[in-house]
Amino acid sequence: MNGLLIKMLQYMLRLFSLLSVIDVLQALQVFPNKFVLGNFTKNVTLTCNTTFSDIVWKSGDDLEPIINEANKKLHGNNLTLISVDQPDAGNYTCWNGNNLLDHHFLVIQDDENENVFSTTKDDPNKRSINCWASSYNCSFTCTWATIHPAVFRAKITRNRNNKDVWHYLDPVKCKENTFQQTFSYVNYSPYEEEYEPLFLKIEAMTEQSYSMIQHQLFIRDIIKPDVPDNFKVKKTGSKTNVSWTYPSTWTRPFSYFPLTSEVECMQKKKDNEIMTFKYESGTAHIISEDVQKCRLHIRDSYYNSHWSNWTPWEKVSTSYMSVQ
């Protein structure tokens, strides 16, 4: 009976701990610029980086200084938290009077909550991230997914060990726990050959866990042009003329960065069979078959990039419409 009572008390204490951490969970709105990772049930020591000897430690919004207790030990400029649990997570500050001297955000990692990023279906050990660039104009966009809501920071370098500055992200939330961010690399030139890859590092944090993705890429490998502009399909006599213009986001001059298009058209037979034709060329196509509608996508002519998304299906028009 005593053993059962002890287990019930332990369960209630654990439940209370989880409920009491809700306030801390709501506090993490941006990625902290200073943080410490602590492991569940292990000791964590925080150090106040100051020359002052007369200091006090505070936790979160609590105005009362931390004092020596069974699970908190003060020694000089150090604060040691004993056998940390989720309620210990959050912001810790050290003070001299009304002067803030230093601060640390403590994340408590549980083995069950070790990963923040979602993994791919094919490889449970590989983090899911997808990047593409709509042109060679030194910027690209990435999407990634997390298991729980999180905050992020990132850095981009040509050298994996380069100590570049961190960028604190406010990514667009595409859907539940899926995020999108556009990155720029100012030292990139579209007119120079890429000999070294870019290294993208993204850190994600919740109050229970911390994870990091390192993604290596060449801009040329992730090119996916935007959908072409001014797509027109016009019937002239027995011929069908297809035309389009370069997307406004594509790198100039177009003569140096040419695009190739592929047009797909549909022909409906008397027995309702739908025939599909594909043609590959430049910004104009002449189709001899009698077709009802067409669509088109484009890619880099010199480097076989990803195809753009298809344009919407365009019905054949018999009236002349000029291309702007």
What tokens appear for 212 in the block?
A: 């990091």
What is the distance between the alpha carbons of residues 148 and 120, in angstroms, rounded to a whole number? Answer: 16
Same CATH fold assignment for domains 2-109 and 113-222: yes
CB 78 within 8 A of CB 111: no
Instruction: Give tens-digit pLDDT for 52-95.
Output: 888 999 988 888 888 888 889 999 899 999 998 888 888 899 99
The answer to whether residue 275 scores a pLDDT higher than 80 is no
The answer to whether residue 238 scores a pLDDT higher than 70 is yes
Taking residues 192-204, what's their average pLDDT? 89
The answer to whether residue 20 scores a pLDDT higher than 60 is no
Q: Was domain 229-315 assigned CATH 3.90.226.10?
A: no
Domain boundaries, the chain: 2-109, 113-222, 229-315
The answer to whether residue 185 scores a pLDDT higher than 70 is yes
Of 142, 228, 155, nearest to 185 by C-alpha is: 155
Q: Which CATH architecture has domain 113-222?
A: Sandwich (2.60)
**Lowest mean pLDDT: which of 167-176, 194-203, 254-263, 270-279?**
270-279
What is the distance between the alpha carbons of residues 212 and 127, in angstroms, rounded to a whole number? Answer: 9
The CATH number of 2-109, from 2.40.50.140, 1.10.357.10, 3.40.120.10, 2.60.40.10, is 2.60.40.10
pLDDT band at 16 (very low <50, low <70, confident <90, very high): very low
- Which string of DSSP letters, residue by residue, matches 34-85? SEEEEETTS-EEEE--SS-SS-EEEETT--SPP--BTTEEEETTEEEESS--
Taking residues 101-109, what's their average pLDDT? 89
Higher-scoring residue by pLDDT: 125, 151: 151
Taking residues 256-264, what's their average pLDDT? 90
For residue 133, what is the DSSP state? B
CB 324 within 8 A of CB 292: no
Q: What is the pTM of this model?
A: 0.72
